[in-house]
Amino acid sequence: MEEISIEVPVEPPKEYEWYFIPVPKKFVEEAYRKDEFVVFVGPQHPGSGHMRIILRLKGDFITDVIPDPGYVHRSMEKLAEYKTYIQNIPLVERPSIMDFGNYNLGYVRAIEEALEIEVPERAKYIRTILAELSRIGTHLYDAGILAVFLGHTTGFMYPFAVREFIVEMITRITGTRITGSFIVPGGVRRDVDNDTLQKIKRMTYALENRLKKFEKIFITNPTTIARLKDVGVLSKEEAIKLGVVGPFLRACGVEYDVRKVEPYEAYDEIDWEMVVGEDGDGYTRFLVRVNEVSQSINMLRQLVDNIPEGDVISEDIVAFDRKDIRGSFFEAYGDLVLPKGEYTSITEASRGSLLFTIVSDGESTTPYRLRIVTPSWLYLKGFMESLKGERLADLQAIYGSWGYFPPEADR
């Protein structure tokens, strides 16, 4: 359609001078002259956490977008410098509490790399089970948030109900619903009994059963397909250029998964497949995660079946009971000092590659510097890029399809 414009000099109203606007005044004035809307979405967003997106709309179409993250910044990296290595474990899993398994694992792996600790096989399996449980939990959580954004209330309730199964299993393993702080350097805090393991396997069948209903009512619901298909498309080249990570990168057709590329823990001992999409649109991004859930279910069954017997705490750790850290936690970790140097671990968290870097001065019991690069932060740029040219009504659909989690990005 041809655009008709009248060349009349339009001056922005005087009020603009005293409005508090967190973007350059020029941006607003230019939008005014071009007859565009500037819409602030957030920061008190009804979806997940807090983030402001500043949009420039031409009619209903987004022409420009400025993200305004940082509303839930907690200076986690600085806080970590004032806590001992072991005290940081509850801290570092806070960015994304549903995904605690992967966050905890990433941090502990960085410590283990520094201390060159060999982790017992059984502990590795338990860690992988925890990581996969929290991956399913996070994907379900994101699916629920996506459904809320699309106005589908049942699509919100079903994943959150099913997540309760995951949380139940996590409670049985760690003793708490989320924020397990269960993985410690050299193993896990407690052994998991056989009963619980079998229950996890039974849970996966119940999960599958319920997810089938979820699929019928939400995943293949024509309104969902209509809202997400061909919306917020990011091409393969763009995705690589903008540094998108995790399932969102795979949705664009890039075959990259840290669990396959650099297998850690028990990922190379079990049989599973990488999920790769093609179109890079919102629906593929969602479906990739849906399929990852079924892969995780498959993994959980194998892990439960193949778990070896043995200790769960490494020989290198001062622990008096190798099945349960209780009673020797302080002796083992109270005065942990890492040798001097820089240690990095890369983990495939639910939303993408998660990087922990610990810089140690070799003397103190606290890290000299802890760097956390979270997946949400990495794909924020790609998220913003995929918004351009879409409709305002699609903002929430795209937001949901990215599973963007402000507390995780802000750290």
Partner 1 sequence: MVRIKVEKPKVHKSVALHIKAITTAFKEAISPGTITIHYPRERRKLPDNFRGLLQLDKEKCINCFRCAHICPANAIQMYQRENKYYPGIDYTKCILCHFCVDSCPTAALKPSKIHDVAFASLSTMVLPPEELAGEPEMWREDTVTVEYDFDGDLKMIKRKEVENLIVEVEKPKRPEFVAGAAFPENCIACRICVNSCPQNAITFKLQDLQTMVLEIDFEKCTGCMVCIRNCPTQTLLPFRREEVLKGGESDEQG
Partner 2 sequence: MNKVDVKLWKIPIPEKPPECRFDWTKERPERVERCKYFGNLKAVVIDKGICSHCGTCYICPVRGIVVEDKPIDFPNWRKDCIDCGACIRVCPRYDYTPLNGLGEYIEAVAGKSKRFKGQDGAMVSEFMAGALEMGIIDVALFVARDEEFKPYVVHITDPDQLKDERITGTKYSFASVMPELHDSIKHVRAVGIIGTPCMISGLRKLQKVVPLYKQKVKLAIGLFCTENFYHWQLKEFLEGRGIDLRKAVKTDIKKGNFIVTYDTGEEFSIPVKEMEEIVPDGCKVCQDFSAVEADASVGSVGSKKGFSSVLIRSETAKEIFEYLKEKDYIEVGEVKIDVIKRLCDYKVKIHPYPKG
Partner 3 sequence: MVDVSGIVSGIVEKIFAALTANMVNIPILEPLINKLLQIPLVNLVVAFILWKPAFVILFVPGLLAVTVVLLIMIWWERKLTARIQWRVGPKEVSRRTGGIIQTLADGMRYMFQEVIIHRDAHKLYFLQLPILSFIPVLLPILLIPAGTIYAIRSPYAIQIAVALTALLPIFILGIGWSANNRFAFIGTVREAFLYVAYEIPLMIAVLSMVLLYKSGDPFVIVEKQWIPGIFMNPIAFIAFLIGMVMAAGRLPFDISEADQEIAFGPFVEYSGIIFGLVMGIAYEKLYLLSLIAAILFFGGWSGPEIAFLGELSYAIWLFLKAFVLMGFIVMVRAIYGRYRLDQALKFGWSSLLTFSLIGFFISAGWVIWLG
Which residues contribute to the site for partner 2 (CB under 8 A)? 115-117, 316, 318, 330-332, 334-340, 362-363
- Which range of residues in 5-13, 38-46, 270-278, 302-310 is near partner 1 by CB under 8 A? 270-278
Q: Distance from CA of residue 178 to its chain's centroid?
A: 14
- Least distance from C-beta 278 to partner 3, angstroms? 23
Q: In whole angstroms, what is the distance from residue 398 CA to residue 381 CA?
A: 13
- Least distance from C-beta 376 to partner 1, angstroms? 22
- Contact flag: residue 276 with partner 1 (CB under 8 A): yes
The residues facing 328 across adjacent strands are none
The residues facing 61 across adjacent strands are 58, 391
Binding mask 52-91 for partner 3 (x = CB under 8 A): --------x-------------------------------
C-alpha angle with apex 15: 14 to 21, nearest 5 degrees?
125
- Least distance from C-beta 400 to partner 3, angstroms? 9
Report helix, strand or coil for 161: helix
Distances (CA, A) of 334 to 27, 190, 318, 406: 53, 18, 11, 33
The residue type of 401 is S
Residue of 12, 29, 39, 181 interacting with partner 3 (CB under 8 A): 39
CA atoms in the 13 A half-sphere facing the CB of 91: 20
Residue of 154, 194, 235, 306 interacting with partner 1 (CB under 8 A): 154
- Least distance from C-beta 71 to partner 3, angstroms? 18
- Least distance from C-beta 253 to partner 3, angstroms? 26
Q: In whole angstroms, what is the distance from residue 373 CA to residue 388 CA?
A: 25
Q: Distance from CA of residue 351 to its chain's centroid?
A: 3
The residue type of 201 is K
Residue 37 interacting partner from partner 2, partner 1, partner 3, none (CB closer than 5 to 8 Å by kind): partner 3
Q: Is residue 375 a contact partner of residue 95, using CB atoms and an 8 Å limit?
A: no
Residue of 24, 74, 118, 206 interacting with partner 1 (CB under 8 A): 206
Residue 295 interacting partner from partner 1, partner 2, partner 3, none (CB closer than 5 to 8 Å by kind): partner 1
Distances (CA, A) of 198 to 164, 191, 203, 237, 323: 17, 14, 9, 44, 19
Binding mask 189-218 for partner 3 (x = CB under 8 A): ----------------------------xx
- Contact flag: residue 365 with partner 1 (CB under 8 A): no
The bridge status of strand 341-349 relative to strand 187-188 is: unpaired
Q: In whole angstroms, what is the distance from residue 155 CA to residue 224 CA?
A: 10
Residue of 283, 383, 399, 402 interacting with partner 1 (CB under 8 A): 283
- Least distance from C-beta 338 to partner 2, angstroms? 7
Q: In whole angstroms, what is the distance from residue 207 CA to residue 143 CA?
A: 15
Residue 338 interacting partner from partner 3, partner 1, partner 2, none (CB closer than 5 to 8 Å by kind): partner 2
Q: What residues line the site for partner 1 (CB under 8 A)?
A: 83, 86-91, 154, 161, 164-165, 168, 171-172, 174-176, 179, 181, 189-190, 199, 202-203, 205-206, 209-210, 213, 216-217, 220-222, 225, 229-230, 251, 255, 273-279, 283-284, 287-288, 291, 295, 320-321, 324-330, 333-334
